[in-house]
Amino acid sequence: MTRPMCYGFLLLALVAAPWMGLYPVLGTKILCYALFACAFHLLLGYTGLASLGHAAFLGVGGYVAGYGIKAWALSPELALLAGLSVGALMGLVMGYVSIRRSGIYFTMITLALAQLVYFLCVQIPQTGGEDGLQGIDRGMLFGFIDLHNDRVMYYTTLTIGVAAFLFIARVVRSPFGQALTAIKDNEPRAVSLGYHPDRYKLLVFTLSAALTGLAGALKAIGLGFVTLSDVHWMTSGHALLMTLVGGLGTLSGPVVGAVVLVTLENKIGELGALLAGVTGIGWFATLGESVMMIMGIVFVICVLAFRRGIMGELDALRRRVRTPNPAPESQS
Amino acid sequence: MDIFGVPVQALMAQLMIGLVNGCFYAVLSLGLAVIFGMLHVINFTHGAMFMLGALLSWAGLYYFELNYWVMLFLAPLVVGVFGIVLERLFLKRIYKLDYLYGLLLTLGLTLIIEGAVRSVYGVSGKPYGPAPISGVTDLGFLMIPNYRLWVIVASLLVCAATWYTIERTRLGAYLRAATENPKLVEAFGINVPVLVSLTFGFGVALAAFAGVLAAPIMQVSALTGQTMIVIVFAVVVIGGMGSIAGTVVTGIGLGLVEALTKVYYPEASSMVMFLVMVLVLLVRPNGLFGGVE
């Protein structure tokens, strides 16, 4: 199966999903997280910068869109634009501070900055504090597309998501994206070739943050609420885990990871009840309450035994099928 | 007498609380830095280990009637052994990989530990009961509870002992050498993997020690570690992880800055250390005491 065919099937599955029994609101949520994970992966997978601060962009993007709709009766397209712009602006500022250090320090700095944003969101009244923003009206997109219909909302999200995905794919394959990969692989050499790594890093950080802000706004409109947990750093951890499960360094990995993890989280209560029924072990019935622990276990398993992720493993499998005697380096 | 409209007594009392918090930050970031120096892994579980230390001291008292002083010794020991087990089981498999995987692995372990504690004890704090040392001391300008005085003294002693061990003893020399060049040290017949395990165990034991100290004055809950670890990250970004004294000074300094903010502008007290971090990064990107990475 060729690569375009794979994408074709994936798209077809996403288009058909609401007619095959997927609840459209859950579908919208999955797509928003997929967009979030893709934006996050643009930074991690192609530039090698692991940010634990992306929840700030997702949450504030959502808050701005939600507050705009509630307080100023913004139309959905303007609310989305607001989420995108605020994400970009925050990305520019946070990026400027955090790219001053590399490696593990970069990660710690983004985490600390996100915590700053989190506490800010706890304090200011516009976010609704512990209650968050609720009952955000979806409205009419461009004045004539009625988003109140769950399926219309789903397909709107899908359209935006696909457009963003194509944009990311274009960025990665552009000369700009090639320069990013060069910086990731060997920064001193990129410098010696005349590139300014900091400019590239800042730009890609801003792009990634803008798309994350868009995902946050989309999520606020689609689900109708924004809460503090969207800005909490655990949400950044989520994006990291989705990327890891789907496959680090693969374009479609984050999408697959988001589909798997959001579905798992939603169904874990049912799954636990099922396991408890089959095995007779009562502990399984409480599985729904220990999402945090399950996430941790998935993290550990992925890091120890499953580093290529789902798409990475599939790629490796396909390569093995094609070449009966694999070259030594592909075995590692 | 007032200083900028705040009575001296109140200001001093807040600064004293800041000093105590600063001691916790210092001991925690010291452990984090020691582990990072040896393993090149940022130990995300550090906050959770702090929480475990506090929880153990509470559990020891509640279930087994072991008093504070026993647990002050026992809890770090238990957590240290637990850390060594984690290191042997999981961490040792990822040393050769990118730094990212060390972070991910310890993040995953943190979620498991905190999730487990949460499913048993919930998220509310466990009140420890009265502090094991009662009474107050009058320092002339300030009345200070004896327990807080003990926390400060104990933390500073532990930091000094750590400094002495690493900088002035034979074991410390092995450690420093193994940080620089593990292969060569191994060639001299020193068992580096054991040294690595012990370092990790010692680092998390430090966190647990701080946890036991904190138990009687902080309501420690399953999620305390999450708040703590982000603050400790800010401390090591500001101070750099190169020098022990630098880490300790930064930790205590940040505790004091936090306390001052609580007096003059309480709304910003939870944010101020991150703002300090931003400022330091803009002026001195490598941190206050950091050389070249």
> Residue B206's pLDDT is what?
93
Residue of B nearest to A113 (CA): B274
**B293–A103 CB contact, under 8 Å:** yes
pLDDT tens for residues B135-181?
A: 787 777 777 888 888 888 999 999 999 889 888 888 888 888 888 88
- pLDDT surpasses 60 at B292: no
Domain-embedded: residue B100: yes
Q: What pLDDT digit, counting tens, does each position of A308-325 carry?
A: 888 888 888 888 887 765
Q: Residue B111 domain-assigned? A: yes
Contacts of B13 (CB under 8 A, 6+ apart): B142
- Shortest distance between the Cα of A131 and any Cα of chain B, in A, equals 18
pLDDT category at A87 given cuts 50, 70, 90 is very high
A292: nearest CB among B114, B234, B285: B114
Which residues from A are below 8 Å from B99, CB to CB? 103-104
Q: Give the residues across from B3 on adjacent strands.
A: B6
Question: Do residues A300 and B108 make contact, with C-beta atoms less than 8 angstroms apart?
Answer: yes
Q: What is the distance in angstroms between the Cα of B261 and the nearest Cα belonging to chain A?
A: 15
Q: Cα distance from A283 to chain B (closest Cα, Å)? A: 11
Range of the domain at B72: 20-222
- What pLDDT band is residue A288 in, cutting at 50, 70 and 90? low
Examine residue B273 and state whether it is found in any structural domain, yes or no. no
Mean pLDDT (chain A, rounded): 86
Q: Which of A120, A292, A300 sits opposite B271 (nearest CB)?
A: A120
Share above pLDDT 70 across residues of chain B, in percent, rounded to a whole number: 98
B99–A contact, CB cutoff 8 A = yes
Q: Which residues of B touch A290 (CB under 8 A)?
A: 115, 118-119
- Looking at residue A175, its pLDDT comes to 92
Say yes or no for a CB contact (<8 Å) between B119 and A289.
yes
ipTM of the complex: 0.86
pLDDT of residue A144: 79
B101 domain-assigned:
yes
Taking a C-beta distance cutoff of 8 angstroms, is the pair A183, A195 a contact?
A: yes
- Helical packing angle, A54-72 and A197-223, nearest 10°: 50
Whether pLDDT at A326 is above 70: no
- The answer to whether position B75 is within a domain reads yes
Task: Enumerate the residues of chain A whose CB falls inside 8 A of the CB of residue B108.
Answer: 295-300, 302-303
Does B255 map to a domain? no
Q: pLDDT tier at A330 (50, 70, 90 boundaries)?
A: very low
Report how far apart, in Å, the C-alpha atoms of A28 and of each of A155, A225, A295 are: 8, 13, 22
In this structure, the strands spanning A140-141 and A145-146 are: antiparallel
Query: What's the pLDDT at A332?
Result: 39
The pLDDT mean for chain B works out to 85
DSSP β-ladder status, B2-3 and B6-7: antiparallel
Indicate the residue type of A254: P
Higher pLDDT, B236 or A57: A57
The shortest C-alpha distance from B159 to chain A (Å) reads: 23
HSE, side-chain direction, 13 A CA sphere, residue A211: 27
Question: Does a structural domain hold residue B45?
Answer: yes
Number of domains in chain B: 1
CB half-sphere exposure, B143, CA atoms < 13 A: 3
pTM of the model: 0.88
CATH fold of A22-331 = ABC transporter involved in vitamin B12 uptake, BtuC (1.10.3470)
pLDDT digits (tens, 9 = 90+) for B178-211: 888 888 888 888 888 888 899 999 999 999 999 9
The pLDDT value recorded for residue A331 is 42
Interface of A with B (CB under 8 A): 50, 97-98, 100-105, 107-109, 111-113, 115-116, 119-120, 122-123, 233, 237, 240, 244, 286, 289-300, 302-304, 307
A299: which chain B residues are within 8 Å (Cβ-Cβ)? 104-105, 107-108, 111
Tell me whether residue B227 is in a domain: no
Of A197, A195, A205, A252, the residue nearest A43 (C-alpha): A205
Output Rg (C-alpha) for chain B, integer angstroms.
19
Number of other residues whose CB lies within 10 A of the CB of residue A184 = 18
Instruction: Give the other-Cβ count within 10 Å of A171's Cβ.
Output: 18
